[in-house]
Amino acid sequence: MTAKTIMVMGTSSSAGKSLLTTALCRCFARRGFRTAPFKAQNMSNNAAVCAGGAEIGRSQALQAVAAGVPPVSDMNPILLKPEGDTRSQVIVNGRPLQTLEATDYFQRRTQLWPHVTAALDRIRDQYDVIVIEGAGSPAELNLTELEMVNMSVARYCRSPVLLVGDIERGGVFAQLLGTLWLLPAEDRELVVGLIVNKFRGDLSLFDSGVDILQQRGGVPVLGVLPWINALRLPEEDAVALDSPADVDLDRLTAGAAPPELEIVVIRLPHIANFDDFDPLAAHPGVRLRYVRMTSELGRPDVVILPGTKNTFGDLQWLRQSGLAAQIERLSKQQTEVVGICGGYQMLGRQIINPDRVESGVHNAAGLGLLEIETVFHPTKQTCQVEFEMTDDTIAPGARGQSVSGYEIHHGQTRSSTPWMKRITEAGSDLAPADGSYSAEGQIWGCYLHGLFHNDSFRAAWLNRLGVSETAGSTISSQDELQLSLDRLADAFEQYVDFDRLMKLTFEPNSTQAANDAG
């Protein structure tokens, strides 16, 4: 049977589409439906690696977890990974196609659109319900003929559409009604419900607002969702770092001790996969900040250089901003310095780029804090991996334990002090070991994304840095993720008319009935 579909669109970026798609995946799955997410085109440097090595957007991987199914490339057939202001690496069906300027990309619509429809058709053959996520706004009038992710997808599969407005940023009436009025009639007929998202305060104060939206929009309001604090779910992209972090009220107990450790993550211009550090941010004994200028750096206990989609460009930025000099100075004052993936490459003596991958730069001097050298290659390494810890220097007591995660990078790094041995079978292009550290273990790095999601390693490393065992959480990172997903779904079902939404999804003739009722 071909799966039913329900599509979530927003009035703008960051309206909450990804989160509500995640909630829907969880809600349908909890009712026993075989459920999968789908987003035709995503733009983000926060990527995930599927079991077969395919890259997809982090949000689709999270949605798959919410649905209880393994992530696959058909859930996100096109992923754009920005390398500069106007160019992105284009990932098609999980594999790099090429890097294109924005104007060139849009000219490829005829070539790329069949990949979108074929992926959607394949995934609909395997599941009961597909929850489809849009991007940006469906009312971007200048892109109507070019877009491959909003109404073009809804029209293709005749999917009912939920339109989400963000009340926190203000102007929610203009957002929702303006979007409806700008849509052509055939597209407007597909919109079966409105959701007002991120409401803070007494929900009853918006009762009259619901009436106004329904009267003027002709579409029922299926719910008003309150702001859900401290969900601790991976963010879709770095836009989330522009807003101050939410305060987790559950952690502000009377008399609670201040954090024992301050960690700074450098907010590189092309930062990638920064959900690597979510378990550290959630630890009650840790204060984690993202900084992008020297005046914000201070004197932290740890500085982390994260992954990046443009190692050479961000290395140059690091020097121009003055942060490189500050990091080198702090490293001499016993501040721990850590590099993950692209950040690991930057810590070395030099990066050689004979094929001009990601950049026209042939080679660049690194920060020289680790005795390593990296050579970039055109072939991109993407794989899920498991390593055995072969050294206790970084995380005392962890020798012999396994850590898992994923690799996603160009190039190989030569190290004389690897501290992890590959357990998963190594192909010809995969190094048998990973990682490097300085003599005292104060400066170290590796390629492994997801390292800090390994509870035993994280606890051992933090313990070496003086974070007490009692300050840690007794729940694993994976269990905490599942609890957050359930809390999100619980809130969705409490504040959204899910029975009505189910009817709109499964009854083909309910779309017009919903609009008539509105």
Residues taking part in catalysis: 341, 449
Crossing angle between the packed helical segments 17-30 and 58-67, to the nearest 10 degrees: 20
- Nearest in space to 436 (alpha carbons), one of 412, 420, 455, 454: 420
Q: Give the pair of three-digit tokens for residue 210.
A: 């619901």
Give the other-Cβ count within 10 Å of 221's Cβ. 22
Residue 452's contacts (CB-CB under 8 Å, 6 or more residues apart) are 276, 277, 279, 280, 458
Residue 118's contacts (CB-CB under 8 Å, 6 or more residues apart) are 77
Pairing of strands 78-82, 41-43: parallel
Q: Give the pair of three-digit tokens for residue 352.
A: 């050689």
Residue whose structure tokens are 């190692």? 311
Backbone angles phi, psi at 428, to 5 degrees: -65, -25
SS3 at position 18: helix
Residues in the chain: 518
Q: How far apart are CA 384 and CA 404, in angstroms?
A: 8
Residue whose structure tokens are 């989330």? 240
Residue whose structure tokens are 């804090």? 369
- Nearest in space to 133 (alpha carbons), one of 120, 121, 118, 146: 120
DSSP letters of 364-401?
EE---SSSEEEEEEEEEEEEEEEEEE--SSSSTT-TT-
